[in-house]
Amino acid sequence: MAAAFDELECLEALEDLDAADQQDIPRRCITDRMNLFHSLHDEEFIKRFRLSKTTALNLLDKLQIQGTRDGRGSPVPPHLQLLITLRWMATGSFQLTIADSFDVSQQLVSKCTAKIVRAIASLLQDYVKRPSREHFSNIRNNYFEMSGFPGVLGAVDCTHVPIQSPGGARAEKFRCRKGFFSLNVQAACGPNLEFFDFVCRWPGSVHDSRIFNNSRLFFDLQHDLLEGHHLLGDPAYPLLPFLLTPVANPVGQREVRYNISHSKARNTIERAFGVLKMRFRCLTIPLKINLTTVMATICSAAVLHNMAVKYKEDLYMCNDDGAEESVNIEENIEHFVNAAGRQKRNNIINEYFS
pTM: 0.83
**Which regions of the chain are under pLDDT 50?**
5, 25, 28-33, 318-335
CA dist 203 and 182 (Å) reads 6
Q: What is the pLDDT of residue 8?
A: 57
Buried b or exposed e, range 306-335, using 16+ CB within 10 angstroms? bbbbeeebeeebeeeebebeebeeeebbee
Q: Which of 158, 153, 156, 157 is nearest to 230 (CA)?
A: 153
Q: Which residues pair with 197 in a beta bridge?
A: 188
Q: What is the pLDDT of residue 194?
A: 96
Q: What is the pLDDT of residue 35?
A: 77
Q: What is the pLDDT of residue 315?
A: 72
Q: What is the pLDDT of residue 320?
A: 39
Q: 280: how many CB neighbours lie within 10 A of its CB?
A: 24
Q: Which of 306, 119, 351, 153 is nearest to 241 (CA)?
A: 153
Q: 326 CB contacts (<8 Å, ≥6 apart)? A: 234, 270
CA dist 158 and 324 (Å) reads 10
For residues 52 and 46, the answer to whether their CB atoms sit within 8 Å is yes
Q: What is the pLDDT of residue 22?
A: 53
